[in-house]
Structure 1
């Protein structure tokens, strides 16, 4: 059995928990803190639902998984597989708690295989996700890094592998990921 690790990143966001939650779980627009991707689901965000994170033009699936927990406005957990990396999925859990007039945001990643490509990508992305979610909730705009990723999104979509096309990652009719 492969040994796995957990990585946790926390940040306090100076916004009400409802604002942070509603921003985190949007499914109708490109999310700068998720690298400009749009969250699509098979049946809404609820336990057992499949989801995929797709490019803004909805042609490339970058991430796929299954919702494990959805407890508004405190916990959202899902499996996470990058479509361009052939490695076992990890589990991502977002936990929100009210703290000091704001919201503590915790991004926890479990089942990381030490030294794997997915582990490196995930751990290096935690600060980007937290920082851009914080900026968006506090100011209405993502941080500079999120704005740049948004501008470069169409270029990244063109560089995706053919195997990442959304038709290869359907939300229904596919065994659990």
Structure 2
């Protein structure tokens, strides 16, 4: 198991950045256009990242920390793999002058797995796109095209990713 740390400085209000990371009412453009689903945004609550149609679960986990607007953390398991669970932590720190440092820390990455490979490059992608969105620049055309293709090709996801196979359970269930 290992840890990866990604950092970026964003010129935007901390509340805007927090909203981009925790919104549940629209797709998260910084996080592969997935939709965050949860029963409540609080420690112990189940959470999932789903496709736009809601028919598939990409990530299943539980909220570990929700301390607005400074720290959001959850367990993370890609539903298409049998890899061990890891943790994802978003830490936001105001630097002054309208800048916020965002640290994305992935803890317990199962090395040599599909999850490990995805996490090695995913952090840079997420923070780069978070910066663009929070600063009001929007997504690049290449990312929009990638998201379009992902949304129209979700039928190729394995059957095991179907939402029916990943019911959201309350803590203790």
**The two structures share one fold, judged by TM-score above 0.5:** yes
Aligned twin of 1:155: 152
- Alpha carbon RMSD of aligned pairs, Å? 1.6
Q: SS of the residue aligned with 1:65?
A: strand
Q: How many pairs does the alignment contain? A: 172
Match of 2:44 among 42, 45, 48: 48
Match of 2:169 among 168, 172, 175: 172
The C-alpha deviation readout for 1:71-95, integer Å capped at 9, x for no partner, is 0000001000000011101000000
**Equivalence map 1:100-111=2 (5 Å):** 100=96, 101-111=98-108
Q: CA deviation at 1:113?
A: 2.1
Runs of 4+ in structure 1 over 4 Å off: 173-176
| Matched-pair contact (CA < 8 Å) for 2:20–2:30 | no
Match of 1:90 among 69, 73, 86: 86
Q: SS of the residue aligned with 1:51?
A: strand
**Equivalence map 1:31-46=2 (5 Å):** 31-41=28-38, 43-46=39-42
Greater shift after overlay, 167-176 or 94-103?
167-176
Q: CA deviation at 1:173?
A: 6.4
Structure 1: where are the runs of 5+ without partners?
none
Aligned twin of 1:29: 26
Distance in structure 2 (CA, Å) of the matches to 1:38 and 1:112: 23
Q: What TM-score comes out, normalization by structure 2 length? A: 0.93
Q: CA deviation at 1:175?
A: 6.7
Establish whether residue 60 from structure 1 lines up as the match of residue 56 from structure 2. Answer: yes
Q: SS of the residue aligned with 1:7?
A: strand
Q: What TM-score comes out, normalization by structure 1 length? A: 0.91
- CA 1:99–1:146 in structure 2 vs 1: closer, same or farther (change >3 Å)? farther
- CA 1:174–1:61 in structure 2 vs 1: closer, same or farther (change >3 Å)? farther
Establish whether residue 8 from structure 1 lines up as the match of residue 10 from structure 2. Answer: no
Q: SS of the residue aligned with 2:30?
A: helix
Establish whether residue 112 from structure 1 lines up as the match of residue 95 from structure 2. Answer: no
